[in-house]
Amino acid sequence: MVNNKAGMTLIVKTITRLTVGLIMLFGIYIVFHGHLSPGGGFAGGVIVALSFVHLMLVFGKDFAMAKISRNLASNLESVGALMFLFVALLGFLGGSFFHNVIAKGKPFDLFSSGTIILSNISIGLKVGVGLFAIFLALVVLEMAKKE
């Protein structure tokens, strides 16, 4: 890999390269199907964060930082929060805060339930990136102390 010194042994790295994409895909699936099956923005966001944490634990700090830096994490979290607020404000079109304005569609479809899916995506973005930012801050602190 890029940096062979940091991180764990070869076996762990190989397995991680195979699985980390699947974990992240599963998290995104849970976010998108939050209105159909158990799950939703919170659980899916935490799974996405876990995939990044997995990457960082195995390959070391620098590799994960190359994928997503800390500034980007903070910015994305703010985007998630503002997007949720925007979905709430969108309800004013229909008359009140958090009013469900988009067409409901047929139940049991993927794009069925109006603003709920938008809210789910924004919550998932916010929770996932926020928790990853927490973990990143803790790890960076450890690194700074060793120097």
Partner 1 sequence: MIFAAIVAIEVNDLLSSVVAVGAVGFALCVAFLILKAPDLAITQLVVEILCLIILIRATIKRDLPLVIEGRWVFNTFVTIIFIVVFLFLSYFVFKELPAFGQPIMRVANLYLNEGVLKTGSVNLVTSVILDFRAYDTLGEATVLFASIIGLMAVLRSPGRKGKGKV
Partner 2 sequence: MSLYLLCFLLFCIGLYGVLRKRNIVKIIVGLGIMEYAMNLFFVLLGYRTHGRSPIEASNQQILNMVDPVPQALVLTSIVIGLAVTALFISIAIRIYEKYGTFDITKIKKLKG
Among 7, 40, 60, 124, indicate the residue that binds partner 1 (CB under 8 A).
Answer: 40
Q: By the criterion CB under 8 A, which residues form the site for partner 2?
A: 37-38, 40, 42, 46, 107-108, 127, 130-131, 134, 137-138, 141, 145
**From CA 75, how far away is CA 78, in angstroms rounded?**
5
- Confirm or reject binding of residue 63 to partner 1 (CB under 8 A): no
- Return the H-helix or E-strand segment holding 1: none
Q: Are 33 and 122 in contact (CB under 8 A)?
A: no
> Residue 73: which region, alpha, beta or left (left: phi > 0; alpha: psi -120 to 50)?
alpha
- Confirm or reject binding of residue 28 to partner 1 (CB under 8 A): no
- Confirm or reject binding of residue 112 to partner 1 (CB under 8 A): yes
**From CA 19, how far away is CA 99, in angstroms rounded?**
40
Considering the complex, state which of residue 1 and residue 72 has its C-beta at the smaller distance from partner 1. 72
**From CA 20, how far away is CA 37, in angstroms rounded?**
23
Neighbours of 128 (CB within 10 A): 29
Residue of 76, 60, 59, 85 whose CA lies nearest to 132 = 76
Quick one: what does residue 133 bind among partner 2, partner 1, none, with the CB cut-off 5 to 8 Å set by partner type? partner 1
- Confirm or reject binding of residue 110 to partner 1 (CB under 8 A): no
Nearest-approach distance from CB 55 to partner 1, in angstroms: 13
Contact residues: partner 1, CB under 8 A: 30, 34-43, 46-47, 49-50, 53, 57, 70-71, 74, 77, 80-81, 84-85, 88, 97-98, 100, 104-108, 112-116, 119-120, 123, 126-127, 130-131, 133-135, 137-142, 144
